[in-house]
Structure 1
């Protein structure tokens, strides 16, 4: 049985998940790629080398898919050291515009899906004294206009991260989260392609640009590593200084 450390990355077919998969592969991990679209996962597998990874297609909002993800990982590699909960969806609109179906769907992926992956992976992470890194958002640290449902899921994920860190510390498992702002991913495409929107973002982001997926992946890798061995329950903004401001305009 291969003794290399093993990481599961949900939503690893594109964006931050793809960048995180590449980073962990470069760090010598065996990488389990998970997502709903097999063709995207296969492309990432080719990029990082098929010998370094395992594809387990599935939807984390479905308990049977999560069971298959964890069981297949253990059957193939015999261990689990890191769980990166990256899968997420966005639902925009004010409350009068968002349907119950859309509201339930965003919670099913962004909150319930993470509950399922963590709960199912827990016995295996206990054995390795492993680490969990949740991909949250600055939208969970303050409100956005027209995104109440998405913001609510990320706020819930932040509180889940902190509470689980308390519960899991005696087990030797650390739980942290990253909170990106606008990042150059599929989810951020609409904003980045609109000049007026980007002008407004640049007013708020101290570093004056969107983040890169690799910059988020680097922080995820740090939190999962022994370099962060005394860090748990933390929500780390990866936002170019956006949350450093109190919201008042530049004078």
Structure 2
């Protein structure tokens, strides 16, 4: 299986859980050092540094996976970046980078991996985020890419069902990952943002990466063979707290 954005956070936790259950895993990301740290935990994890958003990234990743693992039965599109900005302050290059990483990379990586997934009736897991029915100030670009990813899940589930390929979204709520630090936020800013968000979460806390990884692993299991085209929201009740649909 292949997991993008697997050097830290949810991707790393998912790689460790898959490997602990006997899977052969290729962890992919842009930073080799982080990937090597992730791979060091299990002999069945292999690291491959590549940018899935680059024009040749998907083909390079698929080639590496087939050479090292022999097959691709699960693809986890987890890599994402966020660069918060309100309308009026959105930089075009930064917006394009988010769209390329969060949306185009999963699209073209899934397309490149499709022949291999179809040959084993595999599974695509898209790691998305916010639901489409509420606004998210300062996150119009990031949020739009995640809503679009869920639309791809629904569409691909219909397109690929005849090939035996399942497609599922796992949509985490607020999770303790380095994503905001990588966006340039200070520890103080991250702490302040977290305090404001926790008050809106019915379960009263942020998620840990391992809690999201559990769902990624389980929707990919053979026992989940009748699950496709759905969005599994793992958000501590955040999406329903404001009277939104689940």
Q: Does 1:240 align with 2:236?
A: yes
Q: Does 1:14 align with 2:8?
A: yes
Please give the per-residue CA displacement for 1:126-178, whole angstroms capped at 9, x wherever unaligned: 01100000010025553211110101111111101110011001110000011
Question: Which residue of the other structure, out of 83, 89, 104, is the alignment partner of 2:81?
Answer: 89
The secondary structure found in structure 1 opposite 2:72 is: coil
Shift of 1:188: 4.8
Alignment of 1:1-251 (within 5 A): 7-49=1-43, 52-138=44-130, 142-188=134-180, 194=190, 196-247=192-243
TM-score in terms of structure 1 length:
0.91
| Matched pairs, number | 240
TM-score in terms of structure 2 length:
0.92
Partner Cα distance (2:219, 2:139) in 1: 28
Of residues 160-169 and 136-145 in structure 1, the stretch that sits farther from structure 2 once superposed is 136-145
Shift of 1:196: 4.4
Aligned position for 1:3: none
1:199–1:76: structure 2 CA closer, same or farther, 3 Å change rule? closer
Q: Which runs of 5+ in 2 are unaligned?
A: none
Of residues 71-80 and 181-190 in structure 1, the stretch that sits farther from structure 2 once superposed is 181-190
Q: Which runs of 5+ in 1 are unaligned?
A: 1-6
1:40–1:101: structure 2 CA closer, same or farther, 3 Å change rule? same
RMSD of aligned residue pairs (Cα, Å): 1.8
Shift of 1:212: 0.5
Please give the per-residue CA displacement for 1:14-54, whole angstroms capped at 9, x wherever unaligned: 000000000100110000010000000011111223xx122
The secondary structure found in structure 1 opposite 2:2 is: strand
Shift of 1:72: 1.6
